[in-house]
C-alpha cells in the first residue's frame, strides 16, 4: 500500500468545489416552482372546454346521458395523462341519488281537547318533506326550538311528535356560533330529523321561524316549490345514502296550523321562537292537549351519479398514503325552458383546470419529479343538486378523510367578478362592483375556518400576483356552503374554494366558452398547481380539530 501525502488544495479550487456542492444540494431540493407549471396553458384548457360546453352535452344536468358522457371524457383524459385510479381499476366512483314524487296516501290529523279532530289538507296546511320516511306515526307534541343540538330535544323524545323551527338561532348574527350568518349544516331539516330520530321521536314537523321572517306566508306556493306539478322541473335530488337513514315521517306545516297546534302552551309561535333564540338556556316544551297522527307517502326512484378520480402517487413511503385533493365539478343545469345552459365558467373552468394541473404533475412524474404525498384529482357530479358527489365521497371516502392534507376546489375561475345593483338572488349579500375592478382578483373562501392554509396560499400566489380577496366567508350570500369544499369542511378537512367571482352570466345560457378569460383561468390554475405541489411536498403539520 502506497501512502500519499495530502497536497494543499488551491483556494480557487476550494471555492469552485463549494459552489458545485451547494448547486448539487439545491438541485436535490428541487426548484422553487412546481415542476412543469409552465405547461398549464389557456390553449389546452380551452380545447377541452369547447367539447364540454358543446350543445352535444346539453348542459350536463345530473342524471342525464350527457353528464355521463362528460364523465367519460374526463376519465379518458385522466387515463391518457397517465393518472392511476385511486382505488381498484376504475376512475369512477358511482353513487345513487333519489328523486321523489308525492304519493296519494298522505294525511295529517290533530286531536285537540276536548275531542276535536282536525283533518288537514296536503298542500294547504302541510306537506311531507322530500326525505321523509314512508309510514304512520302518532303521539303527543313537544316543541324543541330550532332542533339543532341534542340538548334541544332533551333526554328522550320516545313516542313524541316533535315540532321544530326552520333555520337556526342567531341566523342574522355574524358572531353566531352556528357558522355566523352562513346557514350551518346543523340547520338542515334532514340533519334535524336524524337528530330527533336518534332521540326517539316518532315523527317531526317543521314550521317557518316567523319571529325572524315576518310577513305574509304563501304556504301553497311553498308547497308547489317543494312538490312541483312537473317533477322534472324541480331538479331536486337527495343522496340515497341519506334517505335510507330516515325512519320517521317528516312534514312541513303552515304557521297558521302551528298556531293551532300550540294553543295548549298558552304562547304564540313568535313567543316560542324568541325563547328558542336563547338556545343555551332553552328546554323542550311539552304542548298539552294536542295529539298528532301523521302518515307520509313518498315514491322514489334512483338515479346514478358518477364522480371521476385519478391520482399520482407520492414518493415517501410513510407519507404517500396522505393526499392533496384538487377538484371541480362537471355537472351543470342542463336545459331550462328549451334553452341549453352551457356552464362554461360554472364549472367547466374548474374541470379543465383540474385536468391541466393533473397533466403538469404527470409530466413531472415522467421525468422523475413527484412530491412526497400523493395528489388526487377529482371531478364531482351533482354539485348543482346539493353538492351530492362531494357529499358522497365524504360518506364513502376512497381514502381516510384524516389522510387528506387539504382540498383545493376550483369553481368559477374563468371570469372577472361583476355584481349588479339588483335584487337578483344571485347577487344577494354581495357588494356592487364592476368587472374592470376585479381584473386581477380572486375570492378565496374557507380561510376563517382553516387559517393554516393562508401561508401556503400566499406563498404559492407570489409569482402570479393575484389580488386575494378573503372577505366573504361569513356572508349572507351563503357562498361558503355553495360548492364542493363544504362537505369536506364539515368533516374537519382543510379546504378552500378558489372563485374568481359571480357575474351576470352565472346560471344563464350566456355562460359560454367564448366569454371565458383564458389568461386569468391559466394564472389561477398555475397558482393552485403550485399550492398543491407545496402541500404535497411539505404538508400542513398537525391537523386542527
Strand partners, 61: 332
- pLDDT at res. 299: 96
Q: Using pLDDT thresholds of 50, 70 and 90, give the confidence band for residue 8.
A: very low
Q: Using pLDDT thresholds of 50, 70 and 90, give the confidence band for residue 500.
A: very high
Least confident of 158-162, 212-216, 337-341, 412-416: 212-216
Percent of the chain at pLDDT exceeding 90:
89
Does the structure show a pLDDT above 70 at 478? yes
Q: How far apart are the first and last CA of the chain?
A: 65
Residue 333 host element (H or E)? none
Q: Using pLDDT thresholds of 50, 70 and 90, give the confidence band for residue 138.
A: very high
- pLDDT at res. 49: 98
- pLDDT at res. 532: 98
Strand partners, 92: 308
Does the structure show a pLDDT above 60 at 545? no
In the numeric block, which cell numbers belong to residue 354?
383540474
Does the structure show a pLDDT above 90 at 115? no
State the residue for C-alpha cell 343540538: 149
Report the alpha-carbon angle 432-484-101, nearest 5: 100
Q: Please give the backbone phi and psi of residue 20, each rounded to the nearest 5 degrees, phi first.
A: -65, -40
Task: Report the residue count for the chain.
Answer: 545
pLDDT per position as a tens digit, 424-460: 999 999 999 999 999 999 999 999 999 999 999 999 9
CB-count exposure of residue 405 (10 Å: 0-12, 13-18, 19+): buried
The answer to whether the beta carbons of residues 45 and 410 sit under 8 Å apart is no
Does the structure show a pLDDT above 70 at 15? no
- The average confidence (pLDDT) of the chain is 92
Does the structure show a pLDDT above 70 at 542? no
Q: List all residues 6 or more positions away from 516 whose beta carbon is below 8 Å from its beta carbon.
A: 46, 49, 344, 345, 349, 414, 415
- pLDDT at res. 89: 97
**Averaged pLDDT, 492-498:** 98
- pLDDT at res. 229: 81
Least confident of 50-54, 110-114, 268-272: 110-114
Does the structure show a pLDDT above 90 at 77? yes
Does the structure show a pLDDT above 50 at 212? yes
DSSP 238: E
**Averaged pLDDT, 281-287:** 95
Choice between 93 and 29, residue whose per-residue pLDDT is larger = 93
Domains of the chain by start residue, with CATH: 35-99+302-538 (3.40.630.10), 104-296 (3.50.30.30)
Residue 69 host element (H or E)? helix 65-81
Q: Using pLDDT thresholds of 50, 70 and 90, give the confidence band for residue 235.
A: low
- pLDDT at res. 202: 98
Q: Using pLDDT thresholds of 50, 70 and 90, give the confidence band for residue 483.
A: very high
Dist. CA 382–CA 70, nearest whole Å: 12
Does the structure show a pLDDT above 50 at 17? no
Does the structure show a pLDDT above 90 at 28? no
In this structure, the strands spanning 339-340 and 374-380 are unpaired
Dist. CA 480–CA 31, nearest whole Å: 34
Q: List all residues 6 or more positions away from 283 whose beta carbon is below 8 Å from its beta carbon.
A: 154
Q: List all residues 6 or more positions away from 228 whose beta carbon is below 8 Å from its beta carbon.
A: 234
Dist. CA 172–CA 144, nearest whole Å: 20
**What distance lies between CA 457 and its chain's CA centroid?**
20
Q: Please give the backbone phi and psi of residue 516, each rounded to the nearest 5 degrees, phi first.
A: -75, 140
For 12-55, give the DSSP string: HHHHHHHHHHHHHHHHHH--SSPTTGGG--HHHHHHHHHHHTSG
DSSP 315: S
Strand partners, 96: 304
Q: List all residues 6 or more positions away from 400 whose beta carbon is below 8 Å from its beta carbon.
A: none
pLDDT per position as a tens digit, 404-419: 999 999 999 999 999 9
Give the HSE-up count for residue 537: Cα atoms under 13 Å, Cβ half-sphere: 19
List of long-range contacts for 435-438, beta carbons under 8 Å, 24+ apart: 435/503, 438/500, 438/501
The answer to whether the beta carbons of residues 141 and 287 sit under 8 Å apart is yes
Q: Checking phi first, is residue 25 left (phi over 0); if not, alpha (psi -120 to 50) or beta?
A: alpha
The answer to whether the beta carbons of residues 97 and 305 sit under 8 Å apart is yes
- pLDDT at res. 16: 40
pLDDT per position as a tens digit, 360-392: 999 999 999 999 999 999 999 999 999 999 999
Dist. CA 297–CA 474, nearest whole Å: 38
Dist. CA 40–CA 295, nearest whole Å: 57
- pLDDT at res. 113: 76
Residue 142 host element (H or E)? strand 135-143
- From residue 4, alpha-carbon distances to 7, 17, 26, 139, 293 in Å are 9, 22, 34, 101, 103
Q: What is the pTM of this model?
A: 0.92
Dist. CA 431–CA 419, nearest whole Å: 7
Extended strands (E) in 313-464: 323-329, 335-336, 339-340, 374-380, 404-410, 441-445
Percent of the chain at pLDDT exceeding 70:
92
Amino acid at each position: 500500500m502506497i501512502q500519499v501525502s495530502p497536497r494543499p488544495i488551491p483556494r480557487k479550487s476550494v471555492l469552485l468545489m463549494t459552489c458545485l456542492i451547494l448547486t448539487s444540494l439545491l438541485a436535490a431540493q428541487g426548484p422553487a416552482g412546481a415542476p412543469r407549471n409552465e405547461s398549464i396553458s389557456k390553449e389546452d384548457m380551452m380545447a377541452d372546454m369547447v367539447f364540454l360546453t358543446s350543445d352535444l352535452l346539453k348542459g350536463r344536468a345530473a342524471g342525464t346521458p350527457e353528464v355521463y358522457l362528460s364523465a367519460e371524457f374526463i376519465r379518458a383524459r385522466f387515463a391518457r395523462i397517465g393518472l392511476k385510479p385511486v382505488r381498484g381499476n376504475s376512475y369512477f366512483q358511482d353513487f345513487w341519488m333519489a328523486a321523489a314524487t308525492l304519493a296519494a296516501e298522505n294525511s295529517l290529523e290533530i286531536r285537540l281537547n276536548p275531542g276535536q279532530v282536525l283533518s288537514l289538507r296536503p298542500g294547504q296546511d302541510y306537506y311531507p318533506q322530500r326525505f321523509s320516511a314512508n309510514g304512520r306515526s302518532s303521539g303527543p307534541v313537544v316543541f324543541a326550538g330550532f332542533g339543532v343540538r341534542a340538548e334541544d330535544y332533551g333526554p328522550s323524545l320516545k313516542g313524541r311528535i316533535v315540532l321544530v323551527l326552520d333555520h337556526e338561532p342567531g341566523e342574522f348574527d355574524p358572531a353566531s356560533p352556528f357558522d355566523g350568518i352562513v346557514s350551518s349544516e346543523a340547520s338542515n331539516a334532514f340533519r334535524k330529523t336524524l337528530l330527533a330520530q336518534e332521540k326517539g321521536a316518532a315523527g317531526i314537523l317543521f314550521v317557518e321561524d316567523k319571529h325572524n321572517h315576518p310577513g305574509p306566508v304563501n304556504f301553497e306556493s311553498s308547497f308547489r316549490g317543494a312538490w312541483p306539478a312537473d317533477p322534472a322541473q324541480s331538479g331536486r335530488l337527495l343522496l340515497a345514502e341519506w334517505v335510507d337513514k330516515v325512519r320517521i315521517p317528516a312534514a312541513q306545516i303552515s304557521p297558521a296550523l302551528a298556531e293551532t297546534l300550540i294553543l295548549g302552551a298558552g304562547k304564540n309561535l313568535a313567543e316560542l321562537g324568541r325563547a328558542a333564540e336563547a338556545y343555551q338556556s332553552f328546554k323542550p316544551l311539552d304542548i298539552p292537549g294536542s295529539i298528532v297522527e301523521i302518515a307520509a307517502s313518498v315514491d322514489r326512484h334512483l338515479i346514478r351519479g358518477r364522480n371521476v378520480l385519478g391520482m399520482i402517487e407520492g414518493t415517501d413511503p410513510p407519507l404517500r398514503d396522505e393526499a392533496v385533493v384538487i377538484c371541480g365539478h362537471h355537472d351543470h343545469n342542463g336545459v331550462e325552458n328549451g334553452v341549453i345552459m352551457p356552464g362554461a365558467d360554472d364549472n367547466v373552468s374548474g374541470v379543465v383546470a383540474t385536468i391541466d394541473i393533473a397533466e403538469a404533475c404527470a409530466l413531472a412524474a415522467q421525468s422523475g419529479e413527484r412530491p412526497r404525498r400523493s395528489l388526487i384529482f377529482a371531478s364531482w357530479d351533482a354539485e348543482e343538486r346539493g353538492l351530492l358527489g362531494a357529499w358522497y365521497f365524504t360518506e364513502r371516502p376512497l381514502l381516510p378523510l384524516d389522510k387528506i392534507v387539504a382540498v383545493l376546489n376550483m369553481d368559477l375561475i374563468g371570469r372577472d367578478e361583476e355584481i349588479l345593483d339588483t335584487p337578483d338572488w344571485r347577487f344577494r349579500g354581495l357588494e356592487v362592483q364592476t368587472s374592470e375592478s376585479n381584473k386581477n382578483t380572486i375570492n378565496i373562501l374557507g380561510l376563517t375556518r382553516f387559517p393554516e392554509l393562508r401561508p401556503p396560499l400566499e406563498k404559492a400566489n407570489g409569482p402570479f400576483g393575484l389580488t386575494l380577496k378573503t372577505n366573504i366567508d361569513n356572508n349572507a350570500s351563503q357562498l361558503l356552503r355553495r360548492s364542493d369544499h363544504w362537505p369536506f369542511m364539515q368533516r374537519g378537512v382543510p379546504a378552500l374554494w378558489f372563485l374568481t367571482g359571480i357575474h351576470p352570466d352565472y346560471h344563464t345560457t350566456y355562460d359560454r366558452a367564448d366569454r371565458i378569460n383564458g389568461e386569468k383561468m391559466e394564472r389561477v390554475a398555475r397558482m393552485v398547481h403550485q399550492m398543491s405541489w407545496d402541500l404535497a411536498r411539505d404538508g400542513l403539520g398537525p391537523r386542527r380539530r
